[in-house]
Amino acid sequence: MYPHVAHGEALAILYPACTRFTEQAAVKVYAFMARVLNPGLKAAADAEAAGKAHDEIVKFLKSIGLYKSLKDVGMPEEEFEALAKQSMVLPDYQGNPRIATYEDMLELVKEAYYQYNSKG
């Protein structure tokens, strides 16, 4: 929908919201990721480390200059519903440990638009 946004950039924009959405459905995976990004979490219980995954991915994205919002890349607010629907066209999202409904997807889009910004 947004040819001026590279695929990897779009994934980076949505990943913090998706991490928060999914982390409790895949505790071991998100604990591993958090520990890779922050070895100081090595001794933390899996649930605690997984709960830090969102913050660790945000720190990482900031460090590489990819912490952006959908607003930062020029997505119009009036396209939230269209992007949520488009995100469900390919069956890839069904491979996520927590499968998003349309309402979930809409909330993820809104979170990636409002909550994250390159200044934060």
Q: What is the pTM of this model?
A: 0.86
State pLDDT tens for residues 54-111. 999 999 999 999 999 999 999 999 999 999 999 888 888 888 899 999 999 999 999 9
| Residue labelled with tokens 């390919």 | 90
Using CA atoms, how far apart are residues 21 and 101, in angstroms rounded to an integer?
A: 12
Mean pLDDT in residue range 3-7: 86
pLDDT the model gives residue 5: 86
CA 43 to CA 35: how far, in whole Å? 9
pLDDT of residue 120: 46
Domain ranges of the chain: 7-114
Give the position of tokens 């488009």: 86
pLDDT of residue 93: 82
Of 63, 68, 65, residue with least CA distance to 16: 68
Q: What is the CATH number of domain 7-114?
A: 1.20.1090.10
What is the percent of the chain where pLDDT is above 70?
96
